[in-house]
Amino acid sequence: MNLDQYLPVLLFILVGLGVGVVPQALGYLLGPNRPDPAKNSPYECGFEAFENARMKFDVRYYLVAILFILFDLEICFLVPWAVALTDIGSTGFWSGVVFLIDLLVGFIYAWKKGALDWE
């Protein structure tokens, strides 16, 4: 087994660790450290918490978040498709149209189910 093949992987891991750890270590070592009671106190929106932080949220918050992620991530597919539209030919064009129709059907379904209504 030739270990020279693993040198790029090892360098990649070391550089990744260096990029992640070195700035944090430098900030910890060189940054100011002047704690006082106000900085060390727990806060929420500038005042002491008056309720339990483990309270239940309405499921609509999670539903809106999931729908946002779902429809927001579609841009990751649409932008490269639109950029390469002249190069992909008719098959690529029609597959993108089918994708957009599928996205539209999902949007209409979520709308009709009331997932986008906020009361």
Question: Is the distance from CB of 39 to CB of 46 less than 8 angstroms?
Answer: no
Answer with the residue of higher pLDDT: 55 or 106.
106
- Note the pLDDT of residue 67: 83
Q: Which own/partner contact pairs does 111-115 have at CB distance under 8 Å and 24+ positions apart?
A: 115/63, 115/64, 115/67
By percentage, how much of the chain surpasses pLDDT 90? Answer: 27
Domains for the chain: give ranges and CATH numbers: 3-112 (1.20.58)
- Note the pLDDT of residue 78: 87
Distance CA 39, CA 41 (A): 6
* pTM metric for this prediction: 0.48
